[in-house]
């Protein structure tokens, strides 16, 4: 949905800008349809629409000539979005458990431009350089933007729109997170379009050219390095579960059982090695709370099983732990297994902890 979210946001911006420049009815209609598609893509898309409205209010002199088309677009998008309102109201009670993010501080706003540019894929040795180059370019952009707007340069109108596209969603979701923690960077993906436009204009047009070009060139090289790591280094983003399955398939004896603490490994084993006796252990908080993650995996056919029902199937079992979410739950689970069963071995295979246990005769589990 995040790809759709970003795509429809970009399309909506395109048709809005055409509408704002030419005030043609067909462009206003296309803007209404594309912004409706954006709203259907993600619940927080309302902040993207508010960003456009904020730009219109700032350009109040032009707004008087464009108000009819803008209101028409809003009415159409609201009417088309009404069928989903009932569903959204039903989702509100689950907001606390499944639409959450991290707690916020001012540091969140400072790091957001850096993450928009580089993500989290850079090698640790390059992070200080990227932080310096990225924040320097953002500082040059702010300064250049200030001069362009103050001197009312021809491009100042488009720069103000890009600034609204960046600031309104980021600041809106940030402030909303003090009530309900929803600040997750991928939910703000369309806002990065504003940042990319602004820094690109700074590099190509703003003065001093040599300084902006140097900062832009450095940032571009570091972005390429981040993309290289993201796509070609499997240790950066994805756990190498295919290799884990291959290694364990060679070590498994007949009758061995695999118990998965997380659906990540359970789904991988079901796909790569359906012949293995794999079981997804009940107790994952995402499944207990009936979150989107839990419901989606149930639809995929993954059903949690109780420990009692699994342990009775064999004497030797492997606990597979992937620390990708609910870390406290998985840590406590390992401690429980260590206390209740005899640990035969433990190893880490490509970032996945694999613990082999023997069931003690006469022991009972809850």
174 and 220, same domain (yes or no)? yes
Q: Would residue 364 count as lying in a domain?
A: no
Q: Which residue has the higher pLDDT, 96 or 298?
A: 298
Number of domains in the chain: 2
146 and 245, same domain (yes or no)? no
At residue 16 the predicted structure's pLDDT band, cuts being 50, 70 and 90, is very high
- Distance, in Å, from the CA atom of 113 to the CA atom of 121, rounded to the nearest integer, reads 15
In the prediction, which pLDDT does 237 show? 64
- Distance, in Å, from the CA atom of 300 to the CA atom of 323, rounded to the nearest integer, reads 21
40 and 184, same domain (yes or no)? yes
In the prediction, which pLDDT does 171 show? 94
φ and ψ at residue 289, rounded to 5 degrees: -85, 0
12 and 122, same domain (yes or no)? yes
287 and 179, same domain (yes or no)? no
- Distance, in Å, from the CA atom of 117 to the CA atom of 196, rounded to the nearest integer, reads 8
163: which 2 tokens? 């600034």
At residue 365 the predicted structure's pLDDT band, cuts being 50, 70 and 90, is very low
87 and 202, same domain (yes or no)? yes
In the prediction, which pLDDT does 366 show? 37
Domain region containing 276: 241-358
Q: Would residue 264 count as lying in a domain?
A: yes
Q: Would residue 281 count as lying in a domain?
A: yes
79 and 218, same domain (yes or no)? yes
Q: pLDDT tens for residues 36-95? A: 999 999 988 999 999 999 999 999 889 989 999 999 999 999 999 999 888 877 766 655
Q: What residues contact residue 21 under an 8 Å CB cut-off, 6+ apart?
A: none
Determine how many CB atoms are found less than 10 A away from the CB of residue 289. Answer: 13
Q: pLDDT tens for residues 108-146? A: 888 999 999 999 888 889 999 999 999 999 999 999 999
Q: pLDDT tens for residues 258-301? A: 999 888 888 889 888 888 888 999 888 877 766 667 777 777 77
272 and 344, same domain (yes or no)? yes
- Does residue 102 have a pLDDT over 60? no
In the prediction, which pLDDT does 289 show? 67
145 and 44, same domain (yes or no)? yes
184 and 80, same domain (yes or no)? yes
Q: What is the pTM of this model?
A: 0.75
- Distance, in Å, from the CA atom of 340 to the CA atom of 342, rounded to the nearest integer, reads 7
Question: Could you give the strand order of the β-sheet that contains 278-280, starting from the edge strand earlier in sequence?
Answer: 278-280, 257-260, 316-321, 352-358, 342-349
Domain boundary among 200, 217, 234: 234
- Distance, in Å, from the CA atom of 317 to the CA atom of 30, rounded to the nearest integer, reads 58
In the prediction, which pLDDT does 92 show? 64
18 and 93, same domain (yes or no)? yes
- Does residue 101 have a pLDDT over 80? no
15: which 2 tokens? 């048709």
229 and 126, same domain (yes or no)? yes
- Distance, in Å, from the CA atom of 301 to the CA atom of 253, rounded to the nearest integer, reads 26
Residues in the chain: 366
Q: Would residue 366 count as lying in a domain?
A: no
pLDDT > 70: percent of the chain: 92
At residue 197 the predicted structure's pLDDT band, cuts being 50, 70 and 90, is very high
Q: Are 357 and 319 in contact (CB under 8 A)?
A: yes
Domain boundary among 201, 234, 267: 234
Q: Would residue 365 count as lying in a domain?
A: no
Three-state secondary structure of the chain: CHHHHHHHHHHHHHHHHHHHHHCCHHHHHHHHHHHHHHHHHCHHHHHHHHHHHHHHHHCHHHHHHHHHHHHHHHHHHHHHHHHHHHHHHHHHHHHHHHCCCCCCCHHHHHHHHHHHHHCCCCCHHHHHHHHHHHHHHHHHHHHHHHHHHHCCCCCHHHHHHHHHHHHHHHHHHHHHCCCCCCCCHHHHCCHHHHHHHHHHHHHHHCCCHHHHHHHHHHHHHHHHHHHHHHHHCHHHHCCCHHHHHHHHHHHCCCCCEEEECCHHHHHHHHHHCCCCCEEEECCCHHHHCCCHHHHHHHHCCCCCECHHHHHCCCCEEEEEECCCCCHHHHHHHHHHHHHHCEEEEEEEECCEEEEEEECCCCCCCC
Domain boundary among 203, 234, 265: 234
């Amino acid at each position: 949905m995040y790809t759709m979210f970003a795509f429809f946001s970009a399309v909506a911006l395109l048709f809005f800008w055409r509408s704002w420049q030419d005030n043609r009815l067909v462009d206003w209609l296309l803007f209404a349809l594309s912004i409706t598609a954006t709203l259907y893509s993600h619940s927080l898309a309302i902040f993207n629409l508010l960003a456009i409205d904020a730009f219109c209010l700032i350009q109040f002199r032009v707004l008087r000539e464009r108000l009819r088309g803008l209101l028409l677009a809003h009415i159409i998008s609201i009417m088309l979005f009404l069928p989903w309102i009932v569903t959204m109201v039903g989702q509100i009670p689950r907001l606390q458990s499944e639409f959450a993010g991290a707690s916020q501080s001012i540091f969140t706003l400072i790091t957001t431009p850096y993450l928009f540019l580089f993500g989290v894929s850079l090698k640790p040795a390059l992070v200080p350089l990227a932080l310096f180059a990225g924040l320097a370019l953002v500082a040059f952009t702010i300064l250049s933007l200030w001069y362009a707007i103050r001197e009312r340069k021809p491009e100042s109108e488009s720069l103000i729109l890009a600034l609204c596209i960046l600031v309104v969603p980021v600041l809106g979701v940030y402030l909303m997170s003090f009530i309900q923690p929803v600040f997750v960077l991928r939910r703000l993906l369309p806002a990065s379009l504003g940042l990319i436009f602004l820094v690109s204009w700074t590099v190509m047009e703003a003065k001093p050219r040599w300084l902006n070009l140097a900062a832009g060139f450095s940032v571009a090289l570091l972005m390429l390095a981040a993309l290289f790591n993201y796509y070609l280094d499997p240790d950066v983003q994805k756990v190498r579960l295919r290799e884990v399955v291959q290694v364990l398939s060679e070590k498994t004896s007949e009758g061995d059982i695999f118990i998965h603490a997380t659906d990540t490994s359970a789904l991988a084993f079901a796909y790569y090695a359906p012949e293995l006796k794999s079981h997804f252990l009940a107790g994952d908080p995402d499944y207990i709370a009936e979150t989107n993650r839990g419901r989606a995996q149930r639809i995929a056919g993954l059903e949690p099983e109780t420990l009692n029902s699994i342990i009775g199937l064999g004497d030797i079992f492997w606990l597979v732990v992937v620390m990708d979410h609910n870390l406290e739950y998985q840590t406590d689970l390992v401690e429980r297994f260590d206390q209740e069963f005899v640990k035969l071995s433990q190893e880490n295979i490509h970032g996945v902890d694999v613990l082999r246990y023997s069931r003690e005769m006469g022991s009972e589990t809850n």
